[in-house]
Structure 1
């Protein structure tokens, strides 16, 4: 375990990730291993939400490796089937929205993207479930302002007006007008709330309204893949949350790491995170399953991750994610 936190919560919190055939099932196992080794069962209960076959999936999306499924369950995970009624393969990011509607009603929840490692006991995090928030480890990816199109204020205010929300109270006045950080914007790789079904229904309603009948101010804007991150701040604002309801440095810091891809993990995360990844993947039973996934096989077990890491000066890292991606791609280390 990396951390040393010891704070106790009132009981286990429900943690949800999405797992399905392909990349996500292997990332789900990494997440489950990291959670089980840092956070006692009395503090967290893990649900791996699994989309079921249906009209919106041309291929069966379920976890297709019985041994991997068994390893998930051995870490204490409960596989949670859910139906895809609105998104499916056309917008897989919608899984996180629809899966919430199958979680236990009325019980606080924490959602993580599957490409996350838990580094310390989740009981270290003082979640205020009545004041939801989401990940602030993000860049100004949306909206993309066009020269003669609506600006940040006009674009975001149109969305707040669409749902009858107070726009002014969402602003961070420490930042200047028309600068992206002035506006409530999150990475949707982490969020929490008091009831997953209430949160999920609000998330679904807002996402569908934006997708199917967006305000005219969004005419220049792409919603793929940004739809979840456009709707999420509106959901959080509507449920009484905001940007600063957690102490800094815990989520996306000392307690969790949203690494996004293994090449990015090796390139930009701390030595402790890299060592932790290699520690949890070392046991033979784990290795037998994980090495079936080419990026883990090559980056972790064949040492290419360490070689990719050596490309970067730890004292002079790129400021933006694109800087890491460009160098990794140029040197032949990019994998997804």
Structure 2
């Protein structure tokens, strides 16, 4: 089934990440038949215009097949930039879509992934970042209150192979990728749920930090409401051999596959991209000055620290953390 890809682009770091995303899509998935939409936020909720104004970057992205998609932030804006991925969905053509964060590389044939767009899912490459359970509560009480608020059944979402009240027992995604058949229906529900959690927070969440986790709090509820759930083995290529959500270039060099590094350096070596990416300090230092290879030598990919925070700390100690 043909589908579109959407990512959010803004001036600064996201524009350079989008350049790598678009170039890797063209290089690794030449059979992809959909459109790559780069959604640009705007409107009065931004004190400064967030749009990409660099004409050379815009021309390069369009040359790689990207279509810019302007949209207005009506609910979140600069107060919660993660909300861009929610509000952007409403501007898309109402056709099957895959959302990708811009800090993603396509490393394999994305067109060959057998998506079932009627059953949405999202990335399981996450840590137990939310909730932080106080002594008087439980994961079950917090998540249960959310499902009850929106008239949803929590029981089908539980992974009963995990211990009682362990965070992995409950449906929790990384919002780096997700998909569905209708961006309009999915986006409207995502927006309603996220806004309700923000503006009419259930009392069981009174002690919880909602930011920056709000999109990841709402996403499981949206997915479950459309009959979706955890990704099956047919989607293993996402966060696997087909896509790599690397988060930052230092983390890419530290922990991602040899294939991800190969794709990164291959597309970044293209003359036109190299000229543009040299203006982005992390790319200039880590790719073109080979300092990323120094990071790579610091870590054993078969025996990485369990927590991302520990990887970041080691890179910072070496003076190589560039964002």
The Cα shift of 1:179 comes to 0.2
Contact 1:128 1:245 in 2 (8 A): no
Partner of 1:34: 24
The Cα shift of 1:275 comes to 1.6
Contact 1:184 1:233 in 2 (8 A): yes
Partner of 1:90: 79
- Across the aligned residues of Structure 1 and Structure 2, the Cα RMSD in angstroms comes to 1.2
Change (3 A) 1:278 1:42: closer
* Residue pairs, 1:256-271, within 5 angstroms: 256-271=243-258
Query: Once structures 1 and 2 are overlaid, which stretch shifts more, 290-299 or 96-105?
Result: 290-299
Tell me, in whole angstroms, the C-alpha distance in 2 between the residues paired with 1:316 and 1:24: 30
Partner of 1:108: 96
Change (3 A) 1:244 1:276: closer
Tell me, in whole angstroms, the C-alpha distance in 2 between the residues paired with 1:87 and 1:43: 32
Structure 2 residue corresponding to 1:320, chosen from 300, 304, 307: 307
Tell me, in whole angstroms, the C-alpha distance in 2 between the residues paired with 1:316 and 1:267: 11
Contact 1:131 1:245 in 2 (8 A): no
Tell me, in whole angstroms, the C-alpha distance in 1 between the residues paired with 2:259 and 2:222: 34
Q: Does 2:45 correspond to 1:45?
A: no
The Cα shift of 1:246 comes to 5.0
Please list the CA deviations of residues 54-113 of structure 1 after superposition, one character each: whole Å capped at 9, or x if unmatched. 2211111111211111111111111000001111111000000000000002x1000001
TM-score by length of 1: 0.94
The Cα shift of 1:44 comes to 2.7
Partner of 1:232: 219
Partner of 2:68: 79
Partner of 1:55: 44
Contact 2:123 2:231 in 1 (8 A): no
The Cα shift of 1:43 comes to 2.7
Query: Once structures 1 and 2 are overlaid, which stretch shifts more, 56-65 or 238-247?
Result: 238-247
Structure 2 residue corresponding to 1:290, chosen from 277, 295, 299: 277
Tell me, in whole angstroms, the C-alpha distance in 1 between the residues paired with 2:91 and 2:56: 25
Partner of 1:164: 151
Query: Once structures 1 and 2 are overlaid, which stretch shifts more, 157-166 or 287-296?
Result: 287-296
Tell me, in whole angstroms, the C-alpha distance in 1 between the residues paired with 2:23 and 2:302: 30
- Structure 2 counterpart SS, 1:253: coil
Q: Count how many residue pairs are aligned between Structure 1 and Structure 2.
A: 323
Contact 2:31 2:109 in 1 (8 A): no
Q: Does 2:164 correspond to 1:177?
A: yes
Structure 2 residue corresponding to 1:117, chosen from 101, 105, 112: 105
Partner of 1:193: 180
Please list the CA deviations of residues 272-297 of structure 1 after superposition, one character each: whole Å capped at 9, or x if unmatched. 21121011000221111111111111
TM-score by length of 2: 0.97
Partner of 2:11: 21
Contact 1:127 1:246 in 2 (8 A): no
Partner of 2:298: 311
Contact 1:132 1:245 in 2 (8 A): no
Contact 2:122 2:231 in 1 (8 A): no
Q: Does 2:265 correspond to 1:275?
A: no
Partner of 1:4: none
Query: Once structures 1 and 2 are overlaid, which stretch shifts more, 33-42 or 70-79?
Result: 33-42
Change (3 A) 1:246 1:128: farther
Partner of 1:7: none
Tell me, in whole angstroms, the C-alpha distance in 2 between the residues paired with 1:162 and 1:197: 22
Please list the CA deviations of residues 34-61 of structure 1 after superposition, one character each: whole Å capped at 9, or x if unmatched. 0111223653310000112x22111111
Tell me, in whole angstroms, the C-alpha distance in 2 between the residues paired with 1:232 and 1:262: 26
Partner of 2:210: 223
